[in-house]
Amino acid sequence: MTTVIYDGSFGGLLTAVFEVFEYKFSDVAIISKENYLHENIFAELHEVFFNEEKSERVLNRIKANLGKDGISKLLMVYFSEKPELENLILEAVRYSVNNPNQNVLQNFADEHMMEIAKTVKSVGREIHRMHAFVRFEKLQDDVFFSKIEPDFNLLPLILKHFKHRYRDQKWMIFDLKRHYGIYYDLKEVEFFYPEELSFASLSKTESVLHEEEINYQKLWQRYFIKTNIPERKNLKLHVKSLPKRYWKYLTEKP
């Protein structure tokens, strides 16, 4: 058994996949440094350092065999944060290399490909919910700010959507669960990683809301209450369409 350790990045993972083939490892497990907690005395360790050329070669092979859609799906697996994500991606690449003329990700008879399909479906559903349920609040510096806590690490997967949709205003989306965010300055989207003190202030923004935002929220909440018809209330259907874990960040649900 060989344990391949990499830096946790997607490029590092692709480098690890390349070296699995390069060194002809058969019984192998890939794991990030962050998740490697203790040594297995029965495993031989192999540490991988990111190599752009090796990473690009694997990426090009995936693109040639599975297309851009295949790359997109494997990225969704990577950002799912599943414990077995590395080895699912390795199995997909292995299977694809052995069957270059097939779209192996469509072979649901294979347990690994089936697990990839399930993961892609779950991540895709969460991306759709982020598109629908993200609520921005206008801050005193005229930046629109939103807090999220998705099940998966979605910021890299949703930034293109929000950049296109809100291209005429400055905005920030912050992941409270993973302690980092994205900021759009009317030109580019950048990632930011606040220190502990800044993180606390980002978690609670009530004191820095713009006056317009406070008035808007009151108006919107009143509208939401007044347009609700108690006799037609269907909480079961409501929760199915809008899970409760999103409620605390919705303006209409104070």
How sure is the predictor about 203, in pLDDT bands with cuts at 50, 70 and 90? confident
| One domain for residues 116 and 23 | yes
Please say which residue of 78, 100, 126 terminates a domain.
Answer: 126
State the pLDDT at residue 105: 97
pLDDT at 204 over 90: no
Based on C-alpha coordinates, what's the Rg of the chain?
Answer: 22
Least confident of 23-32, 49-58, 214-223: 214-223
Instruction: Indicate the pLDDT class of residue 19, thresholds 50, 70 and 90.
Output: very high
Tell me, yes or no, whether 43 and 157 share the same domain: no
Q: In whole angstroms, what is the distance from residue 8 CA to residue 111 CA?
A: 24
| pLDDT attached to residue 20 | 98
**What's the pLDDT at 251?**
83
- Say if residue 82's pLDDT is above 80: yes
- What pLDDT does residue 202 have? 78
Query: Residue 12 belongs to what domain range?
Result: 2-126
Same domain for 115 and 14 = yes
The total of structural domains in the chain comes to 2
**SS3 state at 2:** strand
**Centroid of chain to Cα 169:** 23
Q: Which of 126, 156, 188 is the last residue of a domain?
A: 126
For residue 195, name the pLDDT band (cuts at 50, 70, 90): confident
Q: 89 and 148: one domain?
A: no
Report the pLDDT value the prediction gives residue 237, as an integer from 0 to 100.
83
Q: Tell me whether residue 74 is in a domain.
A: yes
Q: Residue 236's pLDDT is what? A: 87
Output the six-digit token pair for 201: 């202030």
Q: What is the pLDDT of residues 107-152, one digit of tens each?
A: 999 999 999 999 999 999 999 999 999 999 999 999 999 999 999 9
Residue 197 has pLDDT above 70, yes or no: no
Are 149 and 176 contacting, i.e. CB atoms less than 8 angstroms apart?
yes
Q: What is the pLDDT of residues 38-78, one digit of tens each?
A: 666 677 899 999 999 999 999 999 999 999 999 999 999 99
Chain mean pLDDT for the chain: 92
- Written as six digits, the tokens of 253 are 């649900």
* Share of residues in the chain with pLDDT > 90 (%): 73
